[in-house]
Amino acid sequence: MALYGKSPDALLVQGCLRGSQESWNEFYTRFIGLIRNVVRKRRGLSPSDVEDITQSAFLELASALKSYVPGNSLTGFVCTVTERVLIDEFRRTKASKRDGQTEPIDHHDGDEEGATMIASNSEPQDSQMEKAELVSRLKTALEGLDPKCRELIELRYLQEMSFNEVAKIKGATENTVTVQTKRCLDKLKGVYQEREDRGIQL
In this structure, CATH architecture of domain 123-197: Orthogonal Bundle (1.10)
The CATH number of domain 1-101, selected from 1.10.1740.10, 1.10.10.10, 2.30.22.10, 3.40.50.2000? 1.10.1740.10
DSSP for 18-83, written as a single string: TT-HHHHHHHHHHHHHHHHHHHHTSTT--HHHHHHHHHHHHHHHHHHGGG--BTB-HHHHHHHHHH
Q: Give the pLDDT confidence of 56-100 residue by residue, as tens digits.
A: 999 999 999 999 988 888 988 998 899 889 888 888 877 766 655
The H helix count followed by the E strand count for the chain is 8, 0
Name the residue type at position 176.
T
* Whole-prediction pTM: 0.59
Please check whether residue 154 is in contact with residue 79, taking contact to mean a CB–CB distance below 8 angstroms: yes
Ranges under pLDDT 50 in the chain: 1-5, 102-121, 202
- The domains of the chain are located at 1-101, 123-197
